[in-house]
Homo-oligomer: A and B are copies of this chain.
Amino acid sequence: MEVINSIAELRLRLASRGRIAFVPTMGNLHHGHLALVSLARQHADCVVVSIFVNPLQFGANEDLASYPRSLQADCEGLNQSGADIVFTPSESELYPVPQTVQVEPPPIAFDLCGKHRPVHFRGVCTVVAKLFNIVRPDVAIFGKKDYQQLFILREMVRQLEIPVEMLAGETMREADGLAMSSRNNLLNPAQRMEAPRLQRALQLVVQASRQGRRDFDAIEAQTTQYLTQLGWIVDYIAVRSASTLLTPLPDERQLLVLGAARLGMTRLIDNIEFAL
């Protein structure tokens, strides 16, 4: 496995590598990421993983500085998972001048997480478009834990005709159901005990829906109240159409419940796809 910092060198290395699969990450890798790498391995001759904590996708009041970084451990895990190349550009390599050219995301980018992180998905789209232009992958892999991100990036790829196949990896969970996330490392022991409740709360929403309730507004409000009473600061709990991420039409049956909530300073997200 090679670790490459330079765009020019990466391009040289990739010039004759056959079919390329690409897994963009911000590092501090967990089993969820490594499962994406294993999925990538099945789809290509050459698996490229990028590690770049992208400042563009953090708001001014967000956790860019405290975002966990662990390059050496990341590389060990990637080597074992079958990655061929790890691309670890510095900020000045990827953004040598202020990035004024950006990819404006679709309107759904300003709903859900985007309501609370207004610059986030513009930054995600811009860095992913740029990384796609550098790596030129045949296939790219993203995790379903960041479902809205996956949805928006698929829309970007479709609307800009980016020639890449988008694959989704399932969310990996700890034994107690907590979705694996780099931010889990930021939880103190008490928060870590409480954290799986977000997933359980989403399961309650699925249950209520399956029992025939379509008053999603009320279910969302009840779930928010439940979590709030237990010390969470809830950004949103939302039942949405799986195909549009908008409020479900009366006859829609392929749904998704998404949640974002904070324990102390740490913001967790999770979601469940379900069919009625």
Interface residues of A (CB under 8 A from B): 7, 11, 97, 99-107, 122, 125-126, 129-130, 133-134, 136, 155-156, 158-163
Contact = CB atoms under 8 A, between A and B. Distances in A.
B103 A104 contact: yes
A7 B161 contact: yes
B97 A101 contact: no
Contacts of A130: 159-161
A103 B100 contact: no
Nearest to A162: B133
B104 A101 contact: yes
A163 B11 contact: yes
B103 A155 contact: no
A97 B159 contact: yes
Contacts of A122: 104
Nearest to A122: B104
19 contacts: A11-B163, A97-B158, A99-B159, A100-B104, A100-B105, A100-B155, A100-B159, A101-B106, A101-B156, A101-B159, A102-B103, A102-B104, A103-B103, A103-B104, A104-B104, A104-B122, A129-B160, A133-B160, A134-B163
B101 A103 contact: yes
Nearest to A94: B161
A130 B163 CA distance: 10
A247 to B, nearest CB: 18
Contacts of A129: 160
A106 B102 CA distance: 8
A100 B162 CA distance: 15
A133 B162 CA distance: 5
**Interface hub of A105, A106, A122, A158 (most chain B Cβ within 10 A):** A106
Contacts of A106: 100-101
A163 B131 CA distance: 11
